[in-house]
Structures are given as C-alpha cells and as structure tokens.
Amino acid sequence: MANGEHDGELKKQIEGLKAAIARSRRLCVFSGAGISCPSGIPDFRSADGIYNQPGLEGYSPEQIISHSFLELRPELFFEFYRSRLVYPDAKPNGAHIYFAKLESPSRHVDVVTQNIDGLHSAAGSTHVIELHGAVARNYCVRCGKRYGLEYILSTSGVPHCDCGGMVRPDVVLYEEPLDENVIYEAIDAISHADTMVVVGTSLTVYPAASFTGYFRGDVLAVINRDPTPLDRYADFAIYGDAAEIARQLAE
C-alpha cells in the first residue's frame, strides 16, 4: 500500500472509531503495556522489552518475577523489582488522559488493564480494574498490613513489616492465580460494553487475553504497534503509537 493510501486508510479508521466512541454509552478500554511505553515504561516482549533485557546472576527476568523465586531468592527478586518494574516518576501520557476524559454523565467507561503502573487512575479514570495488581499496593504476608510504594523504595534488600513479616507487592507473579473477584469484575465490564477498545497489548498473556472473548457489543477496535490475534474480528485495527493515535482521536 502506497503512503498516500495508507494515510487515507488510517484517517478513515480513526474517523470511524471516533464516531463509534461518540455513540457509545458503555465503553470498555482493555489495555496492556504498550499504552504506557510513551510514558517511559518498557513493555515486556518487544526487542527492547523487559524480557529481552539481561537478568540477574544468570536468571532470566521471567524466572525472577515468579512466586517460587520470591520465596527462594527474595533479595534478588527485590533488586530486580525495584530496578526494572517500578517507575515512580512515570506520568500518564496522552492515551491514558484521552480515555479518562471520555467519562461523562452519558458515557460509562470501564478500564480493564494488565498493567501494574497505576497510570490510568493517575490520569483520572474512576473505574479501573487491575488484572495483575498494582505496584502502589503492598502488604505483609504475615499480618496483612498495607504499605505504599514509597515504603518499598525507601528500604533496601527484603522489606519487612513491624511484625517481622515480609512486605511484598500486591501484583500477580508467575505461578500465581488472578484474583477471582477481579476476574468477575473484568468479565462483567467487558460483557456489558457496547464498544471495546483494546490498546497496547499483543494479547498473548493468558488468562487475561481470553477475557476479550466475553465482548458481545457493537464495535470492537484494536490499537497496537503490531498486529494481534484479535484484528480479524475487529471493526477497526489501527497500528501505531498509542499516545499518537489517542491524539488524533481527540482532535
């Protein structure tokens, strides 16, 4: 496809999605790591993503962010966690802000996200369902006392509670199940939406990716840098940077 044809098709897709969102009364945004890349947070599976970066002491990133590794090598887990998975200075970008501003008295917007960075809430979205938890929330494995991210960052080595128990992030690691209540809430949001926008996800992480199958609404859109398995079912498949596409949708 020539550049002119490509630009024309992109504009047609964006205008079509813009009209669909304007008509929507119950919108669901399903987001992944790609929506936060413009905020300086790397994704997981791209060439320069977290999984393709060096690990620590011969362990791969995927090995380190697992339940069993946290149990066996907590010092190394927290070294990796603080340096690679936490970005306290990251700010919401135009895509987070665009979707937050879509909320109105006549349009309900649910955000179902695989991200743990909290940027949707920081942008002003009021109903965010965090499938994999959030770095902002941490708890003692012994007594359950809650701690914020600042406590984790102010400590070195393994953080401990006043009671002596380990304080761990409230995020879903490999080998851990998703919270059942969160699953039900996500499925409810997706199944009741009239429009769903899937943004910044390769849809390869399960079971999260399977939740899109519960959508029964009118319009399905995918915004991502690369093709996804859902594109052939989508009414709109738009390829590019999430923040740039959001800017064009907001015009």
| Active-site residue set | 132
What's the CA gap between 5 and 134, in Å, rounded?
42
**Which of 217-240 are b and which e, b meaning 16 or more Cβ less than 10 Å from the residue's Cβ?**
bebbbbbbbeebebbeebebbbbe
Q: Provide CB contacts within 8 A for 57, sequence distance 6+.
A: 76
Supply the Cα-derived Rg of the chain in whole angstroms.
19
What's the CA gap between 210 and 207, in Å, rounded?
5
What's the CA gap between 103 and 80, in Å, rounded?
36
List the structure tokens of 145.
């006392």
